[in-house]
Structure 1
């Protein structure tokens, strides 16, 4: 039980780092060859297979949706320190550059940890809502919101 509590606290802290654009802190617990996957044909989609590419992705994430706030609703931890699976369910809201305050998304992150290091992150959310939000950001002049995916 104590192990699950520590992992949950760490995952919540990671979301706090993301919400506050602390990218160095966000990538600190990542394994060098982390696998990160986001579905969808948009600037935040694609797969990354290393820590540096994921750092660049986080930086882009902060630039293209600067007001996005992720609220973690539930975290489930399963496994032992040598192989842990974590699910984090969240709600996200943002105000877009055009003043639209209706951007809402809901999703689930699945993390794979080994001895406290994150080896894989898979994100499941409404990729069409994300694509629409990014298109609106692009139409407001933020070209990176409609750029090619960061992949590695």
Structure 2
């Protein structure tokens, strides 16, 4: 553990800055036209599944999105009904379900993802140098890789 005294004010200012930037960028991205076939939160689910190595259990998908388990289950039901996801029984555990992209879901994820990637590049590229983007990636990766603490 860091033995230096933690500057609580600085930590909270950094946190507020991170959250404000996230909210601002999310609002910009949400207002764009790429979300016609999949809303932003739906895209998060499609993207998480596209990053995975084959079908995923619900808990694995939940690790990649900012949704509660009940909200994610309802969204997956809607995406299955729309033909974007496939649900199957887990061959290793008959009580569990595995979820994967259908061909149509993969297409929507790719097309939406391309447009979204251009928007991310435009916004971050307008505000940060390549070195600053590398620093941001490293800092956020460091925060994300910290082990979870029990309450």
TM-score by length of 2: 0.29
Give the number of the structure whose residues are more often helix, by fraction: 2
Give the number of the structure whose residues are more often strand, by fraction: 1
Higher relative contact order (CA 8 A, sep 6+): 1
Q: Which has the larger radius of gyration?
A: 2
